[in-house]
Amino acid sequence: MKDSPVQIEDDNELDISDDPVLSALNKDLESVLSVTDNSLIIFLVVVFAIAYFLEYLKVPSVALFIVVVICTFGGIGYTIYSVVRGKQRIAARYGLVCDACGHRPKVGQIMLVAQTEICSVCGNKLDFHKP
Protein backbone atom coordinates (compact mmCIF):
# COMPACT_ATOMS: atom_id res chain seq x y z
CA MET A 1 0.00 0.00 0.00
CA LYS A 2 1.34 3.43 -0.94
CA ASP A 3 2.15 5.82 1.94
CA SER A 4 0.19 9.05 1.78
CA PRO A 5 0.59 12.20 3.87
CA VAL A 6 -2.98 11.87 5.14
CA GLN A 7 -3.47 8.88 7.40
CA ILE A 8 -6.83 7.28 7.96
CA GLU A 9 -7.58 6.33 11.54
CA ASP A 10 -9.72 3.45 12.72
CA ASP A 11 -12.90 5.55 12.61
CA ASN A 12 -12.29 6.47 8.94
CA GLU A 13 -11.72 10.18 9.63
CA LEU A 14 -8.85 12.12 8.15
CA ASP A 15 -6.30 13.41 10.62
CA ILE A 16 -5.59 17.05 9.80
CA SER A 17 -2.31 17.07 11.70
CA ASP A 18 -0.81 14.50 9.32
CA ASP A 19 -1.15 16.75 6.26
CA PRO A 20 0.96 19.93 6.48
CA VAL A 21 -1.22 21.85 4.00
CA LEU A 22 -4.43 21.02 5.89
CA SER A 23 -2.73 21.96 9.15
CA ALA A 24 -1.63 25.30 7.71
CA LEU A 25 -5.14 25.97 6.38
CA ASN A 26 -6.70 25.13 9.74
CA LYS A 27 -4.21 27.39 11.53
CA ASP A 28 -4.95 30.27 9.14
CA LEU A 29 -8.71 29.83 9.59
CA GLU A 30 -8.32 29.84 13.37
CA SER A 31 -6.15 32.97 13.23
CA VAL A 32 -8.98 34.85 11.50
CA LEU A 33 -11.25 34.01 14.44
CA SER A 34 -8.62 35.02 16.96
CA VAL A 35 -8.00 38.41 15.37
CA THR A 36 -11.67 39.26 14.98
CA ASP A 37 -12.52 38.08 18.51
CA ASN A 38 -9.83 40.33 19.94
CA SER A 39 -11.00 43.25 17.81
CA LEU A 40 -14.59 42.76 18.98
CA ILE A 41 -13.55 42.71 22.63
CA ILE A 42 -11.56 45.92 22.22
CA PHE A 43 -14.44 47.56 20.34
CA LEU A 44 -16.98 46.62 23.02
CA VAL A 45 -14.71 47.88 25.81
CA VAL A 46 -14.40 51.21 23.98
CA VAL A 47 -18.18 51.41 23.43
CA PHE A 48 -18.94 50.78 27.09
CA ALA A 49 -16.23 53.23 28.16
CA ILE A 50 -17.79 55.89 25.93
CA ALA A 51 -21.22 55.01 27.32
CA TYR A 52 -19.93 55.47 30.86
CA PHE A 53 -18.39 58.80 29.87
CA LEU A 54 -21.65 59.94 28.24
CA GLU A 55 -23.58 58.93 31.34
CA TYR A 56 -21.19 61.01 33.41
CA LEU A 57 -21.98 63.99 31.14
CA LYS A 58 -25.71 63.49 31.87
CA VAL A 59 -26.73 62.48 28.34
CA PRO A 60 -30.39 61.34 28.32
CA SER A 61 -30.64 57.64 29.06
CA VAL A 62 -32.71 56.91 25.94
CA ALA A 63 -30.03 58.39 23.67
CA LEU A 64 -27.33 56.55 25.60
CA PHE A 65 -29.24 53.27 25.27
CA ILE A 66 -29.71 53.77 21.52
CA VAL A 67 -26.02 54.51 21.00
CA VAL A 68 -24.91 51.48 23.01
CA VAL A 69 -27.37 49.10 21.32
CA ILE A 70 -26.56 50.31 17.80
CA CYS A 71 -22.80 50.17 18.41
CA THR A 72 -22.98 46.74 20.07
CA PHE A 73 -25.08 45.10 17.35
CA GLY A 74 -23.15 46.93 14.65
CA GLY A 75 -19.85 45.67 16.06
CA ILE A 76 -21.12 42.10 16.31
CA GLY A 77 -22.53 42.25 12.77
CA TYR A 78 -19.29 43.65 11.38
CA THR A 79 -17.33 40.94 13.20
CA ILE A 80 -19.44 38.19 11.64
CA TYR A 81 -19.03 39.78 8.21
CA SER A 82 -15.24 40.12 8.61
CA VAL A 83 -14.88 36.49 9.74
CA VAL A 84 -16.76 35.26 6.67
CA ARG A 85 -14.77 37.49 4.29
CA GLY A 86 -11.45 36.58 5.96
CA LYS A 87 -12.10 32.86 5.75
CA GLN A 88 -13.21 33.13 2.12
CA ARG A 89 -10.01 35.04 1.26
CA ILE A 90 -7.96 32.28 2.88
CA ALA A 91 -9.90 29.63 0.93
CA ALA A 92 -9.14 31.51 -2.29
CA ARG A 93 -5.44 31.78 -1.39
CA TYR A 94 -5.30 28.01 -0.90
CA GLY A 95 -6.94 27.37 -4.29
CA LEU A 96 -10.34 26.27 -3.02
CA VAL A 97 -12.28 28.46 -5.48
CA CYS A 98 -13.32 26.39 -8.48
CA ASP A 99 -11.72 27.45 -11.76
CA ALA A 100 -14.54 25.89 -13.80
CA CYS A 101 -17.64 27.37 -12.15
CA GLY A 102 -16.22 29.99 -9.73
CA HIS A 103 -17.92 28.44 -6.69
CA ARG A 104 -16.49 29.44 -3.30
CA PRO A 105 -17.01 27.01 -0.43
CA LYS A 106 -19.15 28.23 2.44
CA VAL A 107 -17.29 29.05 5.65
CA GLY A 108 -18.38 25.83 7.37
CA GLN A 109 -17.36 23.69 4.39
CA ILE A 110 -13.83 24.98 3.78
CA MET A 111 -12.04 22.15 5.59
CA LEU A 112 -14.25 19.48 3.98
CA VAL A 113 -13.60 20.87 0.50
CA ALA A 114 -9.88 21.03 1.29
CA GLN A 115 -9.88 17.38 2.32
CA THR A 116 -11.75 16.18 -0.76
CA GLU A 117 -10.18 18.71 -3.18
CA ILE A 118 -13.34 18.52 -5.31
CA CYS A 119 -15.81 21.33 -6.10
CA SER A 120 -19.13 20.59 -4.42
CA VAL A 121 -21.09 22.15 -7.31
CA CYS A 122 -19.52 20.87 -10.53
CA GLY A 123 -17.20 18.11 -9.26
CA ASN A 124 -14.07 19.69 -10.77
CA LYS A 125 -10.69 18.91 -9.18
CA LEU A 126 -9.44 21.92 -7.19
CA ASP A 127 -5.88 23.24 -7.19
CA PHE A 128 -5.47 22.94 -3.40
CA HIS A 129 -2.01 24.11 -2.38
CA LYS A 130 -0.15 25.99 0.32
CA PRO A 131 0.33 29.63 -0.70
pLDDT tens string, the chain, 131 residues long: the values are 444 455 444 455 556 667 788 888 889 999 998 889 899 999 989 988 888 888 788 878 888 888 889 989 999 999 999 999 999 999 999 988 888 888 899 988 898 888 888 888 888 888 888 87
For residue 5, CA distances in Å to 11, 14, 15, 16, 75 come to: 17, 10, 10, 10, 41
- The answer to whether the predicted template modeling score (pTM) of the entire model surpasses 0.85 is no
